[in-house]
Amino acid sequence: MQDQDTISLDIAALDTAALDPRLSQANIKSTIVAGLVAMAREQGVACDAWFVGLRLGPAQFSADALPYLSYRQAALIIRRALRSLPGSGHGLVLGTGQDIGSFGLLGLAMLTAPDFAQALRWGIHYAPITGAMMELALEEDRESVAVIARMRDHDPDLEPFLCEELFVSSLELCRGLLGPEFRPQRLELAYAAPDYASDYAAAFSCDVRFGCARNRVLLDSRWLASTMPAHNAASAQQIIALCEAQMPGTRASSEVVAVVERLLRQRLADNPRLVDIAAELHLTERTLRRQMQAAQTSFTALHDRVRSEAARRLLVDPRTSIAQVGIAVGFKDAREFRRAFKRWTGVAPRALRSGRGGAASA
């Protein structure tokens, strides 16, 4: 259990990190945090204290629709988790438990690529949609290719964990694409060897070096020409379009917007007002409105977007009537819902359902 002094230091670090907009945009899918929460449950470790001061709780990281976090929020939760979880090498454990399915759309895209070279490029470019917290780059020469990982905000306490999780999960992904015989040439890490360094050799089955200039993994270039098992140009194009739509630049929002959006989704049928959400966040209505304005949006705009997105998803199911869809997104009157939906999308709900919505329904 963390004491109050430690929590206060964490909050102070949070406030400092907030000065950098790259660290305060809620654009990281919380897959790593969800993995740590699951690990805590398996080991019987209480993890509520990990979320103190963040308006979040462990229950929100066990559902299919994981919340988005800012880098500073995710880093704080992970730092607290590493203090409280028993043992060591938690990144190795977390990464080993992943496979192609764990990478979602990106895993599917890589499966349908023409060859491993293209799959690798897509993997690096679209890594942010998987919840990756390190920035990746690719270096190629005639004999080898290197994947380089850099921290957004250097933190020696987090670097080993993030490298472990990233490189081991990526290795499991590559083995899913290329077969169990795949292995790296060498792993180079910029931090000193931990006490459990021998676990690295077992996890990676290659030469592992610590205290290097950069964090990078080297691969034999002969793998690049390997054909992917489910290559399909048409499928790849469609999946990559979905990946592109999920990239952080297309959905970046501030932390307060992410929190309000999450609460709206939870209470959508109740048609919550600004004053209701503000009360749940222990803020005044005026303060929340000012914070939304600072994030260059408004409560009304966000509420409409959340309702529109939810309504579109529900309209896909023909068993749900249009009136039921309206009720699910907070409208008691079906006519009022139809007017609002036409205002949001430019088409009527019935037209979208019948496929006449055109680009507006995409």
> Which CATH number characterizes residue 312's domain?
1.10.10.60
Q: Which range of residues forms the domain containing residue 105?
A: 88-250
pLDDT at 355: 59
pLDDT at 304: 94
Structural domain tally of the chain?
3
**Are 134 and 229 in the same domain?**
yes
Q: Which of the listed residues 68, 86, 104 is the one where a domain comes to its end?
A: 86
pLDDT at 261: 86
**Are 16 and 134 in the same domain?**
no
Q: How far apart are CA 280 and CA 260, in angstroms?
A: 10
**Are 214 and 73 in the same domain?**
no
Q: Which residues pair with 149 in a beta bridge?
A: 136, 215
**Are 94 and 239 in the same domain?**
yes
**Are 246 and 271 in the same domain?**
no
**Are 96 and 224 in the same domain?**
yes
**Are 38 and 122 in the same domain?**
no
Q: Which of the listed residues 198, 222, 250 is the one where a domain comes to its end?
A: 250
**Are 234 and 94 in the same domain?**
yes
**Are 42 and 191 in the same domain?**
no
Q: Which residues pair with 48 in a beta bridge?
A: none
Q: Which of the listed residues 204, 234, 250 is the one where a domain comes to its end?
A: 250
pLDDT at 34: 95
**Are 10 and 81 in the same domain?**
yes
pLDDT in tens, the chain (362 residues): 444 434 444 444 444 444 466 787 888 889 999 999 999 999 999 999 999 988 888 988 886 678 888 899 999 999 999 999 999 999 999 999 999 999 999 999 999 999 999 999 999 999 999 999 999 999 987 778 999 999 988 899 999 999 999 999 999 999 999 999 999 999 999 999 999 999 999 999 999 999 999 999 999 999 999 999 899 999 999 999 999 988 876 555 677 888 888 889 888 999 999 999 988 887 888 988 988 887 788 999 999 999 998 998 898 888 899 999 999 999 999 999 999 999 998 889 988 876 555 444 33
**Are 189 and 316 in the same domain?**
no
pLDDT at 351: 85
pLDDT at 356: 52
pLDDT at 14: 45
**Are 355 and 257 in the same domain?**
yes
pLDDT at 13: 45
Q: Which residues pair with 186 in a beta bridge?
A: 207, 218
